[in-house]
Structures are given as structure tokens and as C-alpha cells.
Amino acid sequence: MATPLSASQLLKALRDEGLQVVEHRNWRTHNRNHKGPWGPVHGVMIHHTVTSGTRNSVDICYDGHSSLPGPLCHGVIAKDGSVHLVGHGRANHAGLGDDEVLRAVIDERASLPADNEANTDGNRYFYGFECINLGNGTDPWPAAQLEAIEKAAAALCRAHGWSHRSVIGHKEWQPGKIDPRGFTMDSMRKRIGQRLGGKPGGPAKPPAPKPPSSYEPFPGSAFFAPGRRSPVVTAMGKRLVAEGCGRYEVGPGPEWSEADRKSYAAWQRKLGYTGSDADGIPGKASWDRLKVPNV
């Protein structure tokens, strides 16, 4: 059992986890508390919006619609990894779900029972994050967005002393729901658990990685040919993501691809290159400034 975080505590927890947080309108007092109690809270629930576009999705989640007034969650997680707070308190996101699932979340069991009943008010007991995605199985989940989901859930677990097993998907709570679609909740819980250090109440922030003792030397522009597979390509992609230049749907991999080229072009533009000098093919000057760790 846990008392919900105050609006200021929620904002701080998310920012302390390293998230870019946007405060939308009067989110601090925007809720459905007049329709029922808010708390005690027992976990975090992840959804997808079935919408596209950040502004449109945030407005819908703040306002709701005629049959389901807003807020429809507490935070909206955009494709770029930003978190937009739209409500604080009771929100119309979870609906009626299975009491056995709630008990398993409270007990932080390793597995959840089937959600075959709709007899418990989830809006009272769960924080909710809506993640912008069409939910059609083909709309991509960018690496920045998946990382933000991981961080947002971990931030609340950390604040309440919960483990990763206090995070569930809407599809695990309410019969007939499919969200979030496009990644598994088991894989997301694993990421959250690693971020928390495998135990609740872990360090406030993940320990900073040690700087590499050396960097990859420039392999030459000809190295970056379509189909080239190398751990150097993966290491480069990770650095591009860290620099805010990643243009990957899921994340960098070992094979040089069009996503790598677009990401590197973004890095070149960030350095001030234009035109043919920002074609996405690494050159020595831009490569040396990227500082790809030695693999």
C-alpha cells in the first residue's frame, strides 16, 4: 500500500531519472477525483494511445472525449522520449480489471494470472502512462521512447520502493485489451529491473559508466557500405543515440543500414555540416568528435 506521490514529487521523480518532462496546462489539479478515490497506489500501467502526433495525442489524453472524459492517464510518452504530464490524481486509464491480477501486483509475484474478470477499479490503484503508437503492430517504437517508458516506470517504482514486478500492461489487467502492442511487457520489466539494480530502492540514478580507455580509430569511409556487419557499427549507433541523433525505429544494430546513415547525417548537421558534407557517410573529422568507444 502506498500513498500517491504529490504533483511535485511525481515531477521530481521523473526528472531525477533523467527524463525530459513537459508540464501540460493545469495538470497538477486535473483529475477525476470527484468520481471516486485515488489511492492507495500499487503499480504502474502502460498503454498505447492508438493516435499519432505528439500535440494531438497529448490534447486527447488531457481532454478525453464525450464518452470518456480526461485525463486519460497521468503522462503521455512521445516518440522522442519526452514525457508530457496531463493529470494528477484519478484518471480514466485502467478501467475495471481482474482482482487476482491486482493481488499479484501487490505481492510482486514473478508471474501474473490470466485477466479473465473485470471486477476491480484500476483507476484508483495505478499510475498510467499512454505511449504514442497506433497499436497496429507495425508502427515503430523508437529507442528513445522505449527508454523513456523504462525510465518513467522505474522512477515511480524507485519512489515507492517497488520492484519491476509492479509494472504491468493494460492487456494484463483488463480482458480484451491489447495494449501495449509492439513489445512484450516481460522484456520491458526486465529493462526496468536492470535500471533499478535488481532491487527496489536502488540508487537514485544509474552509476555513470567509466570513460573508455580508448576510442575506435576511423575505419575509412569505404567501411560504411550497405550490409557491412561489425560491432563498430553498433557502438557508433549507441553514441549517436546518446548525442540525440539516433533515427532508429528500435535501436542500433551491427549491420550498417539506412537508419545508421540518417543518424550519422543528423550528427554531421549537429556539428554544422551542410549539403553533401552531411550525407551520412562518416568522415574522419566528424568520427573523431563522436568518440566511439573501442570495441
Evaluate whether 251 touches 150 at the Cβ level (below 8 Å). Answer: no
Q: List pLDDT tens digits, range 42-63.
A: 999 999 999 999 999 999 999 9
Cell of 189: 520489466
Neighbours of 27 (CB within 10 A): 22
Q: Which residue stretches of the chain are H helix?
A: 7-16, 54-63, 99-107, 122-125, 143-160, 185-195, 231-242, 258-270, 284-290
Lowest mean pLDDT among 5-14, 85-94, 101-110, 201-210: 201-210
Tell me the CATH architecture of domain 7-195: 3-Layer(aba) Sandwich (3.40)
Report how far residue 95's alpha carbon sits from residue 68's, in angstroms, rounded to the nearest whole number.
11
pLDDT at 158 exceeding the cut of 80: yes
pLDDT at 224 exceeding the cut of 90: yes
Residue 35: closest CA among 93, 91, 98? 91
Residue-range domain boundaries for the chain: 7-195, 221-290
236 CA to centre of own chain: 22
pLDDT at 202 exceeding the cut of 70: no
What is the overall mean pLDDT for the chain? 92
User: Judging by DSSP bridges, how do beta strands 83-85 and 75-77 pair with one another?
Assistant: antiparallel
pLDDT attached to residue 17:
95
Residue type, 270: K
Grid coordinates 512521445 are at which residue?
78
Cell of 290: 563522436
Please tell me the CATH code under which domain 221-290 is placed: 1.10.101
pLDDT band at 213 (very low <50, low <70, confident <90, very high): low
Can you spell out the DSSP letters for 67-122?
TEESP--SEEE-TTS-EEE---SS-TTS-EE-HHHHHHHHHT-SS--------EEH
Neighbours of 54 (CB within 10 A): 17
Grid coordinates 468520481 are at which residue?
35
pLDDT attached to residue 295:
81
Report how far residue 161's alpha carbon sits from residue 151's, in angstroms, rounded to the nearest whole number.
15
Report how far residue 30's alpha carbon sits from residue 168's, in angstroms, rounded to the nearest whole number.
24
